[in-house]
Structure 1
Amino acid sequence: MANVQYYDVILKPVVTEKSMELMGEKKYTFLVHPEATKSQVKEAVEKMFNGTKVKSVNTMNYAGKKKRVRGTMQFGKTAKSKKAVVQLTEDSADIEIFEGL
Structure 2
Amino acid sequence: MTNNDKSISIDIVKYPVITDKSTQLLEENKYTFAVDDQAHKKDIKKTIEHTFDVKIKTINTCNRHPKKKRVGKFIGYKKRYKKAIITLEKNYSIQLFPDN
| TM-score exceeds 0.5 | yes
Count of equivalent residues: 93
The root-mean-square deviation of aligned C-alpha atoms, in Å, is 2.0
Give me the whole-angstrom Cα distance separating, in 1, the residues matched to 2:22 and 2:13: 16
Match for 2:15 among 12, 35, 40?
12
Report the more deviating stretch, 61-70 or 81-90: 61-70
Distance change (3 Å), C-alpha of 1:64 and 1:45? same
Hey, what does 1:90 align to over in structure 2? 90
CA deviation string 1:40-89 (max 9, x = no partner): 11111101102x100110001012234445225xx433221110000001
Structure 1: any 5+ residue segments left out of the alignment? none
Match for residue 64 of structure 1?
66
Distance of 2:71 and 2:13 partners within structure 1? 30
Q: Which runs of 5+ in 2 are unaligned?
A: 1-6
Structure 1 segments of 4+ aligned residues over 3 angstroms from their partners: 66-69
Normalised by the length of structure 2, the TM-score is 0.79
Identical positions, percent:
38
Alignment-derived partner of residue 47 in structure 2 = 44
The TM-score with structure 1 as length reference comes to: 0.79
